[in-house]
Homo-oligomer: A and B are copies of this chain.
């Protein structure tokens, strides 16, 4: 049993992590507080990014705009418009036009697909139901292990990592992890964007999914489950709650689904067999109100 207390600060373990000091990501805005006093506050930016696949305009996403290349690649992958074996010949970003063009060796045409839309609670831009289900039906997620000692170390490290959320709030975070190490921490106004940026990063860096753990600040909706399964990651963890369809899809796909992970508490509603209970809970701290206020309120 792991008896040592979890130690904070693991930012060095990150290959990508938030840069709350990037002036492009937040602006200072003036207003009044409850006493009527003039105050200034930082708010996250939200700008349109139009994604093209070869000649075709696919979508305009609202994003903080920090990783347009990863966002475009990940979005197309998670929409099943880009395949893992596709040869990407170029990714052209134009900051002024707020456009990113992904070029592939394979000729692509998703005219028909773009006509039919599904709005998921997790806000996948139009995705055809058939595709969503296909990803689940054909899922064959690998054997994997989630030690509770890793889980507690991860949530502690993630919650103590400087982030735009802690700076300005109103943003979502997703973290790609391996064992007890957070590797890539992406934030965005749209949680789906944060997921897609991680998928794009994995594609670009040829990172294998089978030994990874995916952490999200957001709810475990059907969309979140589908994206994780599509990415081939066997374990999905969130500090937030579940939806019934999310649980149903996770069970169909054999995904380990852990929610309400706060302090020493968590709840697994699918794939429990991957969990190894190696952490002595007497050595895990509950969330302090102060920390809870900071980390818990991942709004919308």
Contacts and interface: CB of A to CB of B under 8 A. Distances in A.
A32 B268 contact: yes
Given A48-B118, A221-B300, 5 more contacts: A27-B244, A31-B268, A31-B270, A217-B299, A298-B299
Contacts of A129: 48, 60
Contact of A272 (B32, B170, B238): B32
A115 interface: yes
Q: Which of A27, A125, A244, A272 has the most CB of B within 10 A?
A: A244
9 contacts: A34-B264, A34-B265, A45-B245, A117-B117, A126-B126, A169-B240, A240-B300, A289-B293, A298-B299
Contacts of A297: 240, 296-298
Contacts of A219: 170, 189, 299-300
Interface string A3-43: 00000000000000000000000110111111110010101
Contacts of A35: 277, 281
| Complex copy number for this chain | 2
A282 B39 CA distance: 20
Contact of A217 (B29, B260, B300): B300
A140 interface: no
Interface in A180-200: 188-193
A46 B245 contact: yes
Q: Which of A34, A43, A264, A269 has the most CB of B within 10 A?
A: A34
A293 B260 CA distance: 12
A78 interface: no
Interface residues of A, number: 83
Interface in A201-246: 217-222, 238, 240-246
A138 interface: no
A42 B116 CA distance: 32
B189 A221 contact: yes
A169 to B, nearest CB: 4
B298 A266 contact: no
B59 A118 contact: yes
Contact of A299 (B34, B47, B240, B247): B240
Interface in A113-159: 114-123, 125-126, 129, 148
